[in-house]
Structure 1
Amino acid sequence: MTRLRLHRADDQDTLDLIRELMDLNVTLVLIGVDIPRSGLLRGVYIDPRTKQWVFPDVRRGKSHNEAASTQTERRFDMVDLDPFDYTTPAGITAFQDHLAGIEDQLRLFYSFEGMLTTGEMPEYLYRRTHGIVGLLRRLIEDGCTEAITSREERLTPELLARTAIRLGNLADLDPEAGEILEIPQDVQPPGKEKSRKRPRNTVYDDHGQRPAADG
């Protein structure tokens, strides 16, 4: 949805087609990034009481067809797919349940139960992706490719640490639509985090005999 640029005639035709489909007895699932600020849903906001998206009334006298500017936005039921939250027990459980669903679909020779859901793996995956489903999917897909190529045939934090998340090589992503995300960098696997090395205590070092003082 965020790829529609309404200043282009072709995109206006596409939006008109979507409106016509909305008049049919079908359910449309439309996906986009940051829809409220995309311009397609003008000036919407979340009502803190109802947690629903609110569409403000059209200002009178601004258009020859005042209802036209809201005929699209008033037909939407907005559903937010926020990143997973790793700061609450409920959020952690939801993230681990999602990992369990992914794990059930992996077909690596040496995979094992709990490969993605036990130990330090869930926290590492969250640190690599900030709980964003798209980044998580790409990391695991590329990690599986690395696991097969290297014949390790299972996912570990060490293997994923050498698997970079790259979105720039996807030709269908639109930077102007917010589809190129900020990817966490230099995330080390558990136990490998960089730390400042403490200087060695040299108080008791033997520096040899001191020369005798001159008489």
Structure 2
Amino acid sequence: MSNGSMPVTSSTYVSFLPGPPLDRTRWEGWQRWGSTRGHFVPAPVLTARQYTDLTPRQRRFHDLHRLATHSSLPVQSTPMSDAVAWTVQARIEDGAFSHKAGTRTGVMVNGGGAQGKTETVCEAAASFEEEWLDLNNHVNPDAMPGTRDLVAPVAYVRCPVKATPISTCQRILDFYGEDHKGMRLEDLVRTVNTAIVEHATKALVIDDITRLKLHREADQDVLDLIREMMSMPVTLILVGVGIPLSGLLRDGRRDPVTKQWLFPPVKDRGRSPNADAATQHERRFELVDLDPFSYDSPDQVAAWVSHLRAVEGSLRLLNDTEGMLSTGTMPEYLFDRTNGVVGLLEKLIQRGCRLAIQDGTERLTPHALNQCAVSPTDLPDLDPDSGEQPTIPPVKKTSKRKTKGRNTVFDDDGPLTEPAV
């Protein structure tokens, strides 16, 4: 029985089987992800007694469904991600509903690896796209005769590793399925502009933007590419790690109170075209940070514990998961293991749940999680050479061995006492 009422059969578990792989960097994949996100049905909640009543085959199906559930944990919003999502969606809407011909203000989303930048931005962009398509009856109101009937309010691309302006433009055209064979950079930029207009794109998301390396011979091309894109009728959302130090902007500092990035004025002496271009980027982009959780104040600890409670609700262990992650020493232990990075927390929980199912303990504890190590191979999409791999805290295992007793042969116990008469 599932949840005490629904009978568990083989057909109950068909929903956890994955379909064809999703590629959001293609229009078809982005559309399928947008229409099916949130459709995954997690495994039913069973008690240990209900699990025992299943046949061996049903138990195996249920275990596989639970593993799929823990591998597909929903993206939990955080106070930090909510703030970033609000800014992204606000900028996209401001640009999409503006009747002016001027440059749209873009957003640069900065943060460390595995902190949920991509999912936060994609979710905000997909929400906008759904509303925009509904408003326009899922057609392009400005379509011209002879153009392709492909409406893409949002385009999502990822910079390739060791990206160049040419390869970045090629990735954008790949999203639309446009042919770019043999094109020079000028032709690529012009074709990108045309594709954005003809496909009614209102937001262009370029992920991993800091893979664009600003070497001396290519840095002007990179900055020129960004400037050219800023003049297109689209809101640019650039996502990357270490944006303030990447050269896309001049070096700045982050105000500890307002959390805003402050940039010093450009000095007239020795100012280069690159510095001038970077200044334009600062004026036309709002830089926001997606930070990990902190553990320095009661409010920050409470936010972390609240996040852990939300994760508990998605676990499918036979023991009651309420309080399993959010009480006792677990919040501090999990923070020490992850530095408050949600991506590392997800991987650690996923491995711990697999172990708990395998050994039959059905519970997550510090002792059990000490047997689970998250490694860079668990984050294959993040390029270490671009600084995208987060720092993974080492496992601090506590030894159960008793300390060897000290030799007390030569200890002086003091003078002997006479026995009482």
Query: What TM-score comes out, normalization by structure 1 length?
Result: 0.72
Q: How far has the Cα of 1:122 moved from its partner?
A: 0.9
The code of the aligned residue for 2:403 comes to K
Q: C-alpha separation between the residues in 1 aligned to 2:274 and 2:338?
A: 45
In the alignment, which residue of structure 1 is the partner of 2:176?
Answer: none
Q: 1:119 aligns with which of 316, 325, 328?
A: 328
Larger helix fraction of residues: 2
Q: How far has the Cα of 1:161 moved from its partner?
A: 0.9
Structure 1 residue 79 corresponds to structure 2 residue 296: no
Q: C-alpha separation between the residues in 2 aligned to 1:181 and 1:95?
A: 19
- What is the correspondence of 1:187-202 to structure 2 with a 5 Å cutoff? 187-188=396-397, 192=398, 197=403, 199-200=405-406, 202=408
Q: C-alpha separation between the residues in 2 aligned to 1:19 and 1:152?
A: 58
Aligned partners of 2:223 and 2:248 also within 8 Å: no
Residues 182 and 48 of structure 1: is their aligned pair in 2 closer, same or farther, counting only changes over 3 Å? closer
Q: How far has the Cα of 1:151 moved from its partner?
A: 4.0
In the alignment, which residue of structure 1 is the partner of 2:136?
Answer: none
Larger mean Cα displacement after TM superposition, 160-169 or 129-138: 129-138
In the alignment, which residue of structure 2 is the partner of 1:162?
Answer: 371
Residues 26 and 102 of structure 1: is their aligned pair in 2 closer, same or farther, counting only changes over 3 Å? farther
Aligned partners of 2:293 and 2:300 also within 8 Å: yes
Q: Structure 2, unaligned stretches of length 5 or more?
A: 1-208, 412-421
Structure 1 residue 43 corresponds to structure 2 residue 277: no
Q: Structure 1, unaligned stretches of length 5 or more?
A: 206-215
Larger mean Cα displacement after TM superposition, 157-166 or 97-106: 97-106
- What is the correspondence of 1:51-200 to structure 2 with a 5 Å cutoff? 51-60=259-268, 62-63=271-272, 67-188=276-397, 192=398, 197=403, 199-200=405-406
Q: C-alpha separation between the residues in 2 aligned to 1:64 and 1:88?
A: 44
Q: C-alpha separation between the residues in 1 aligned to 2:277 and 2:370?
A: 51
Residues 162 and 116 of structure 1: is their aligned pair in 2 closer, same or farther, counting only changes over 3 Å? same
In the alignment, which residue of structure 1 is the partner of 2:132?
Answer: none
Q: C-alpha separation between the residues in 1 aligned to 2:273 and 2:228?
A: 20
Aligned partners of 1:165 and 1:183 also within 8 Å: yes
The code of the aligned residue for 2:251 comes to G
Q: C-alpha separation between the residues in 2 aligned to 1:132 and 1:141?
A: 14
Total equivalences in the alignment: 201
Q: How far has the Cα of 1:95 moved from its partner?
A: 0.9
Q: How far has the Cα of 1:37 moved from its partner?
A: 1.4
Residues 36 and 146 of structure 1: is their aligned pair in 2 closer, same or farther, counting only changes over 3 Å? same
Tell me which of the two structures has the higher relative contact order, counting C-alpha pairs closer than 8 angstroms and 6 or more residues apart: 2
Q: C-alpha separation between the residues in 2 aligned to 1:120 and 1:22?
A: 53
Residues 66 and 21 of structure 1: is their aligned pair in 2 closer, same or farther, counting only changes over 3 Å? closer
Aligned partners of 2:248 and 2:278 also within 8 Å: no
In the alignment, which residue of structure 1 is the partner of 2:156?
Answer: none
Q: C-alpha separation between the residues in 2 aligned to 1:47 and 1:187?
A: 34
Q: C-alpha separation between the residues in 1 aligned to 2:399 and 2:297?
A: 24
The code of the aligned residue for 2:331 comes to P
Kindly report the root-mean-square deviation, in angstroms, between the aligned alpha carbons of the 2 structures: 3.7
The code of the aligned residue for 1:37 comes to L
Structure 1 residue 34 corresponds to structure 2 residue 242: yes
Aligned partners of 1:36 and 1:44 also within 8 Å: yes
Q: C-alpha separation between the residues in 1 aligned to 2:399 and 2:330?
A: 15
Q: How far has the Cα of 1:46 moved from its partner?
A: 2.4
Residues 149 and 78 of structure 1: is their aligned pair in 2 closer, same or farther, counting only changes over 3 Å? farther
Determine what percentage of the aligned residue pairs are the same residue. 48
Aligned partners of 2:330 and 2:365 also within 8 Å: yes
Aligned partners of 2:227 and 2:277 also within 8 Å: no
Q: C-alpha separation between the residues in 1 aligned to 2:337 and 2:299?
A: 20
Q: C-alpha separation between the residues in 2 aligned to 1:78 and 1:165?
A: 30
In the alignment, which residue of structure 1 is the partner of 2:206?
Answer: none
Q: 1:6 aligns with which of 209, 214, 237?
A: 214
Q: How far has the Cα of 1:25 moved from its partner?
A: 5.8
The code of the aligned residue for 1:80 comes to D
Aligned partners of 2:214 and 2:222 also within 8 Å: no
Q: How far has the Cα of 1:140 moved from its partner?
A: 1.4
Query: What TM-score comes out, normalization by structure 2 length?
Result: 0.40
For 2:210, what is the secondary structure of its paired residue?
Answer: coil
For 2:211, what is the secondary structure of its paired residue?
Answer: coil
For 1:79, what is the secondary structure of its paired residue?
Answer: strand
